[in-house]
Homo-oligomer: A and B are copies of this chain.
């Protein structure tokens, strides 16, 4: 398994039901994405140095099983779509028993600092190639 990022559930991430509040998984997707891109050789900082940002354009997710304080969650991120101006990452989160607790996707577009769409295949072929290599793994 590649690109497995580990998140330990914090006390402040629980709610009065005694479990992790569902909004936190969206944040963990971001943590795993940051890790995924860094592992790919393109940490956020390096992408931002090109003058490119990749805001989230949509999210979907399924909550399968609850988690709670002190559990360690394994998050496997993988690139499932990449086009000239957008990409989609899939996240599978598992608990210590290996059971899937969460599945989700985040879609992103490439923008410059003024908010214009950037076609990375033409403008930043090295970045595009890194994504393509990841797709073919």
Which residues of A does B touch, CB under 8 Å?
A: 10-12, 14-19, 21-24, 26-27, 30-31, 34, 43-45, 53, 55-63, 66, 68-70
A70→B45 contact, CB < 8 A: yes
Q: Is the CB of A12 within 8 A of B11?
A: no
Give the shortest distance, in Å, between A103 (CB) and chain B (any CB).
Answer: 9
Find out whether the CB atom of B26 lies under 8 angstroms from the CB atom of A11.
no
Known: A12-B27, A12-B30, A21-B12. A59 touches B61 (CB 8 A): yes
CA distance A67 to B32 in the complex (A): 21
Copy total for this chain: 4
Q: Which residues in B have their C-beta under 8 angstroms from that of A66?
A: 55
Given known pairs A16-B69, A23-B23, A30-B23, the reply for A55 and B59 (CB within 8 Å) is: no
Nearest 8 CB-CB pairings of A with B:
A14-B16, A60-B60, A23-B26, A22-B56, A58-B62, A16-B18, A12-B27, A23-B27
How far does the alpha carbon of A19 sit from the alpha carbon of B55 in the complex, in Å?
Answer: 10
**Distance between Cα atoms of A70 and B48 in the complex (Å):** 13
Give the nearest-CB partner of A14 in chain B. Answer: B16
A-B contact pairs, 9 of them (CB 8 A): A10-B31, A11-B16, A12-B23, A16-B16, A16-B68, A44-B70, A58-B60, A58-B61, A58-B62
